Structure 1
């Protein structure tokens, strides 16, 4: 009897041990998460200091040097995975593009500012995202449509040149270029978005609210942690974001309605289809064919202007800073322009740009050495998958370190130096594919299905404005100053000390 009692009492223990051993066996076979630091100290640091995910790049470099090209951080309940290796990025974004094409659920304040992810960049991978992206690429960013905005680019170039001349006259030839670059790019994006040439006061008002909300988004990532609690604890800051969004809608919705009410007249040469025009025609099949709400249109317009303003303006500043620092390179650009257009040309036309390989090399080197964004927006996977033998769990944030890939010493000799010749015949960058479809050597526009759809437009703007600025002026360092290429992060990566230079009319 005692023996049977002992057997009965031991059965639960045996069953428990059996389950534990089987679980341990399965865990041995199941891939592990990529390595990372202890969870609690890291999480506590970011909660209490309320630092942005953009601020952790130096920490990530240390972790990658210690743990390898793919690491895990637990900043929230979901792991955040960071990939610094270009080959792994190609495997994920191109070879397994469909698996890695989703976006994480939006957290506050991004959820609020995007009308619950009704924009292209944060929308989940699926029919709505495909519809919105296809509309943008076919109606606005297709080369035939981009060409129609050539008069707008000439108009904006004149605005920029006039601003630089006026600034130089009041400051002994010295100009601080970034504000003028931002304003010029914003004028162009406002026209492409709303279809109208607004006056300077209206453009400044739109620019101010865009920048205000963009900085609020990057300044207060704390709302991503327990939003119901943090909205109460930081009520004043949350109310500022709500009020800012309300002001944006008050400015944008009248412009959206005015464009809708304007009737397109047959043969009216000045009428070019704008982004807002295309949004009015969208219907959402998965939602009963309804049209976009005004609030959703505001979010899409805001995204359109944000995506092409600071990124392009910062890239333009980085390129011009290097041409000021390296006078020999600036001379080569000017010589190439002269050979193509002739010394009497007043302006470089867009068709001339295709015959300027050194100019293109300068732009490419600027994007490699100084990508405006050091990360692409986070990706996620819809189901558990593996990469490099590690588990990428469903719902994890997957981040790709753009700058590290463009600075890979295995590809680029002296990667921190500015050398446009890399992109000439025989250089490491010869024939480099910015889409990354064959191989990723640099990815300033991302890669794969979520690659920035504005790649072609951005390259055109950079080549067009750099060529005309070099042809219009000689750019020299400000008296007694050296060009400082230190970085500063807001939403994009700009210059810590904005470029100050002296400009003189170029003797052609």
Structure 2
């Protein structure tokens, strides 16, 4: 081999090294956000004294010490946490697609579970197709209006559960959490499959060794329902009535059966993919909505003057008519501003998720003068932003009036497009598609429960606002109020 060839080979071999060294030097000039000491492979030394499962209290101390952007390392994984609203807006909205990816989950890596769902899929053609299908065929106003009978039915389910658990308004204080979860799950299952399931089979999250059985159980539950919708669509195309009178004319499954994937030969979704997407639909909304209901109703129990002001608005607007209430909460003229303010204040002070689902940097990027390297996981502190005393007056008090005229939350942009002051539904490219429907469901169920019952605190079961982390951030001590029917 002549000298020229040797030089050429050496250049090819050295080029990647030179590029790597250039990137390392560049990254050192643009330093990572600060954080506690770490060692290679193990990560931060603080994990010797703290559990990663209880990271939020630890982060609050780290923000006080290092500022609003902190780097943590668990093994080889680099995670960055952002607690400043301006930096969150710059990253989620300003940076656009650079931070629209999702890191892979342990479930997908260990079990090979498909991540072709809207909340978890990579930012690309499949994600855009699935999200566009959901928004266009389920969440646009005309479709939302179609599900009014479903909401009225779910209201009856909830009221029945509350009367049952409270003994018809008797002395024992019920744990109302299960009633909230049951009613919300019933509604979302109906919207998903177009069928009223009186006792839906809840899909509980298990340990790792139970996941395979859980996935098999999902298919056993969902495939017959999917086949039923195929048959319904076939009958409808022939002008024939549905096989059951409980069948709704539209459902999420119907839209999924019509999806075609242009990038893959215009194929349809497989049953497995539809099962995964169907499990996402109720799972994504049940815990977040029922947790939100629990916190809001706990605040109304603790703040009876707020509850009575809300009841007065509901009574003046709707009387005792639950169907009129349903129409009012989806009325764009906002006939019940105080009900909306109560829900917004609940979401600000008690966001069901204290952090957004993790984002992943698609390329090196700058946030607040710090380097966010490609592949890093970036987390945003929802609760800290919504409780920031620099932005909100008395942030740890429940004051719905702040969202009315003249309040410090008047006109707040909950989408985060203009600015971020609270973001219970996220912001940017991966903002929750169901934001408007989620708020409407909260308003409808809160309004219904205040319309039907006076919610009172019980001696010995006083409301406590301590938190515990489950799938969402729930009440450590479940809400146990006394429910007094407002009418016989």
TM class, shorter-length: 0.7 to 0.9
Aligned to 1:34: 33
Does 2:135 correspond to 1:158?
Answer: no
Q: Distance in 2 between matches of 1:25 and 1:398?
A: 20
Tell me the number of residue pairs that the alignment of Structure 1 and Structure 2 aligns.
Answer: 455
Aligned-partner SS, 2:422: coil
Name the CA shift for 1:114/1:299 in 2 (closer, same or farther; >3 Å).
farther
> 1:245 aligned to 209, 215, 221, which one?
215
**Residue 116 of structure 1: how far off its partner (Å):** 2.7
Aligned to 2:344: 364
Does 2:339 correspond to 1:341?
Answer: no
Q: Distance in 2 between matches of 1:116 and 1:155?
A: 33
Q: Distance in 2 between matches of 1:420 and 1:188?
A: 27
**Contact kept in structure 2, 1:72 and 1:82, CA below 8 Å:** yes
Aligned to 2:187: 188
Q: Distance in 2 between matches of 1:410 and 1:416?
A: 12
Aligned-partner SS, 1:412: coil
1:308-457 correspondence to structure 2 within 5 Å = 308-342=285-319, 345=321, 348-353=324-329, 354-457=334-437
Unaligned runs of at least 5 residues, structure 2 = 1-17
Q: Distance in 1 between matches of 2:338 and 2:283?
A: 29
Task: Please say which of residues 357-366 and 69-78 is displaced more in the overlay.
Answer: 69-78
**Contact kept in structure 2, 1:348 and 1:464, CA below 8 Å:** no
Q: Distance in 1 between matches of 2:109 and 2:268?
A: 20
Does 2:249 correspond to 1:272?
Answer: yes
TM-score (norm 1): 0.84
> 2:442 aligned to 443, 455, 462, which one?
462
Aligned-partner SS, 2:77: coil
Aligned to 1:178: 177
Aligned-partner SS, 1:438: coil
Q: Distance in 2 between matches of 1:173 and 1:280?
A: 47
**Residue 507 of structure 1: how far off its partner (Å):** 4.8
Aligned to 1:139: 137
Q: Distance in 1 between matches of 2:462 and 2:280?
A: 36
Q: Distance in 1 between matches of 2:318 and 2:27?
A: 67
**Contact kept in structure 2, 1:487 and 1:495, CA below 8 Å:** yes
Does 2:131 correspond to 1:118?
Answer: no
Aligned to 1:102: 101
1:204-243 correspondence to structure 2 within 5 Å = 205=201, 207=202, 210-213=203-206, 216=207, 238-243=208-213
Q: Distance in 1 between matches of 2:47 and 2:122?
A: 26
Q: Distance in 1 between matches of 2:468 and 2:55?
A: 13
Q: Distance in 1 between matches of 2:420 and 2:358?
A: 18
Cα deviation, 1:483-504, whole Å, max 9, x if unaligned, reads 1111111010111111101111
Name the CA shift for 1:190/1:345 in 2 (closer, same or farther; >3 Å).
closer
1:470-489 correspondence to structure 2 within 5 Å = 470-489=450-469
**Residue 267 of structure 1: how far off its partner (Å):** 8.9
Name the CA shift for 1:241/1:267 in 2 (closer, same or farther; >3 Å).
closer
**Residue 46 of structure 1: how far off its partner (Å):** 5.5
> 1:254 aligned to 208, 224, 233, which one?
224
Q: Distance in 2 between matches of 1:248 and 1:24?
A: 46
TM-score (norm 2): 0.88
**Contact kept in structure 2, 1:282 and 1:291, CA below 8 Å:** yes
Cα deviation, 1:341-392, whole Å, max 9, x if unaligned, reads 24x5465432323211111111000000000000111111211111111111
Q: Distance in 1 between matches of 2:185 and 2:318?
A: 28
**Residue 193 of structure 1: how far off its partner (Å):** 0.8
**Contact kept in structure 2, 1:139 and 1:145, CA below 8 Å:** yes
Q: Distance in 2 between matches of 1:25 and 1:95?
A: 25
Aligned to 1:66: 65
Aligned-partner SS, 1:92: helix
The alignment yields a C-alpha RMSD, in angstroms, of 2.4
**Residue 284 of structure 1: how far off its partner (Å):** 1.7
Name the CA shift for 1:422/1:132 in 2 (closer, same or farther; >3 Å).
same
Aligned-partner SS, 1:471: helix
**Residue 303 of structure 1: how far off its partner (Å):** 1.0
Unaligned runs of at least 5 residues, structure 1 = 1-18, 217-237
Task: Please say which of residues 138-147 and 114-123 is displaced more in the overlay.
Answer: 114-123
Name the CA shift for 1:507/1:155 in 2 (closer, same or farther; >3 Å).
closer
Cα deviation, 1:293-334, whole Å, max 9, x if unaligned, reads 222111111111111101000101111111011100000001
Task: Please say which of residues 399-408 and 22-31 is displaced more in the overlay.
Answer: 22-31
**Residue 276 of structure 1: how far off its partner (Å):** 0.9
Name the CA shift for 1:25/1:300 in 2 (closer, same or farther; >3 Å).
closer
Q: Distance in 2 between matches of 1:107 and 1:120?
A: 14
Does 2:282 correspond to 1:283?
Answer: no
Q: Distance in 2 between matches of 1:28 and 1:286?
A: 36
